[in-house]
Structure 1
């Protein structure tokens, strides 16, 4: 039986942080659903450091969400990924997004959060208090305000949560997420 992974995001999601996990799941024959506040074509963005002390943002590729958050039953999924970008800033205010996230944490299912994706976890504080996680450096105050310990490493695993700093950490992030999901790579001849 194939595993099922849910990606919760919205407009202004960091392009690499949604495309990379989505296609990696498909490569592993994992059924993957992208859900957003409304089912629609999402505008992704590209963040990078150019000539400013903070990151810049440019529009990137479009990607379809497959479902509205309201249509998601989290019990149907084995794992959750929350990418970064600016999407988590408003997705975290969605009550259904909070319920979905709480379900995965409460039931000890694999949760992968990268970059600003951690902002969604801060809205379900009782499940992250006392936990260790990393995120994009600017999210440290929110992580600590939620009662979690901010880890300065670019990749960290604490129980069922794998957290990553930013898109350059995606290879290790997905490797650790797949370990939590118990995806085994079979040798091919």
Structure 2
């Protein structure tokens, strides 16, 4: 397995674990990961949010860590990347309004490159109109968006992930072990113990 060059599109109040954990895990196994945010440059930070269930009908949102970008969105050439990671949280709801983000997402699907989307990351996929005829997991509140975009929303446990073609998707960060393992398999990553 050769190291892959992976693009991760993040933004303010993206989910802390869904940014930090895949970023660090992919680096740990030898891949190169460029974390970018429209309107920001390498060295800038995005504020993350920690989402958890603490007795309310929906998740609570707390301030997470500041995450430092290591590449500049305006400088990237999406064609040079082997794969894409789309974390969840609140960032996808506004990132999907950026035409350059949508064009980047479409590139990975049109080229058949591996894509990993978790939680609210499906909002960016729906906006890019790449879910027609595909199965895509997401946070349950995103089920209508997946279906309105022509996708199938699978009912899987919060700690499960699903792979269909070049897309790995999962409901939320409790699925990280399955989500990351399935994405590594798509990338052709082999880890020997």
- In the superposition, the TM-score normalised over structure 1's length comes to 0.95
Alignment-derived partner of residue 171 in structure 1: 177
Question: Do structure 1's residue 92 and structure 2's residue 96 form an aligned pair?
Answer: yes
What's the offset of the Cα at 1:124? 1.6
- Residue matched to 1:61: 65
RMSD: 1.1
1:29 counterpart residue number? 30
Instruction: Show CA shifts across 1:139-162 (max 9, x none).
Output: 000000101011111421110000
- Which residue matches 1:136? 139
Match in the other structure for 1:160: 166
Aligned residue pairs total 186
3-state DSSP of counterpart to 2:6: strand
1:116 partnered with 2:120: yes
| Residues 6-57 of structure 1: per-residue CA shift (max 9 Å, x gap) | 1111010101000110010111110111011122211011001113111110
* Distance in 2 separating the partners of 1:156 and 1:164: 6
Shift of 1:95: 1.0
2:85 paired residue number: 81
Is the CA contact (8 Å cut-off) linking 1:5 and 1:79 kept in structure 2? Answer: yes
Query: 1:69 Cα deviation (Å)?
Result: 2.3
**1:180 pairs with one of 178, 182, 186:** 186
Matched residues in 2 for 1:111 and 1:15: separation?
19
Q: Are 2:50 and 1:46 equivalent residues in the alignment?
A: yes
Between the aligned partners of 1:181 and 1:68, the Cα distance in structure 2 is 23
Paired residue secondary structure (1:120): helix
In 1: Cα distance, 2:71 partner to 2:12 partner: 14
For residues 121 and 7 of structure 2, the distance between their equivalents in structure 1, rounded to whole angstroms, comes to 14
Structure 2 spans left out of the alignment, 5+ residues: none
The secondary structure found in structure 1 opposite 2:127 is coil
Question: What's the TM-score, normalizing by structure 2?
Answer: 0.93
Structure 1 unaligned regions, length at least 5: none
Question: In the aligned structure 2, how far is the partner of 1:165 from the partner of 1:86?
Answer: 14
